[in-house]
Structure 1
Amino acid sequence: MPETAAPIQSAIEKKLTDGFQADHLRVENESHMHSVPPNSETHFKVTLVSGDFEGKNRVKRHQAIYGVLGAELQAGVHALALHLYTPEEWQTRNGVAPSSPQCMGGSKHDKH
């Protein structure tokens, strides 16, 4: 049986597919790299390539994503690593998004 995405990841993928003319979309659940319970859906890496980003700076691109994913951000998605490119920018990068850094650990519940 093929592996299916978890509910929040699926919702993010659908909203981004509906909200943008995507040439490339990859949503990765990176929660396992952070200090959260197993099977969490709190940290995501989004790589989105779209002509919709033409003429928009980084801030405007991020605002567009936050506008589409507002409900998810309000409901427990803690972090989005956003890698947003125009098709030309993506081609210049040879179709490769940066790797996410390892979590430095820690939690608001840890004693300092």
Structure 2
Amino acid sequence: MSINQERIALFQEDLAKAFAIKKLLIEDESHLHAGHAGAASGGGHFKLSIVAPEFEGMNSVARHRAIYAALNRHIPKEIHALTISALTPEEAGL
């Protein structure tokens, strides 16, 4: 298991503590940013797609803040950059 696969497993655990996840996909996009100044620090670039009922009634900024709060212990050491898609089950058609 690569270092970023281990990180993703930890991210999934922390997100599961904060949200009743209906769907979750975390992709490692670090290879797309090789040579980038932030990548040199060891932090990875990740793309996160999450569907959870807790996002109901929240705008996108509030959703992102909730995700950052859940992953706080990983920022900035393990997570240098994070692209987020956060939907309610209804928005995701679930």
TM range, smaller chain? 0.7 to 0.9
2: CA distance between counterparts of 1:30 and 1:65? 18
TM-score, normalisation: structure 1: 0.70
1:104 is aligned to none
2: CA distance between counterparts of 1:13 and 1:59? 21
Name the SS for the 2:58 alignment partner: coil
1:59 to 61, 65, 75: 61
Q: Quick check: which one's helix share is greater?
A: 2
1: CA distance between counterparts of 2:78 and 2:56? 30
Identity of aligned residues (%): 34
2: CA distance between counterparts of 1:84 and 1:15? 16
Q: CA RMSD in A?
A: 2.1
1:106 is aligned to none
Report the alpha carbon displacement of residue 89 of structure 1 after superposing the two structures with TM: 0.9
TM-score, normalisation: structure 2: 0.82
Name the SS for the 2:90 alignment partner: helix
Task: Tell me which moved more, 26-35 or 48-57.
Answer: 26-35
User: What is the aligned length?
Assistant: 88
Partner amino acid for 1:46? L
1: CA distance between counterparts of 2:73 and 2:59? 24
Name the SS for the 2:23 alignment partner: strand
1: CA distance between counterparts of 2:82 and 2:29? 9
2: CA distance between counterparts of 1:19 and 1:68? 6
1:13 is aligned to 12
Gaps of 5+ in 2: none
Counterpart mapping for 1:1-112 below 5 A: 6-36=5-35, 42-91=44-93
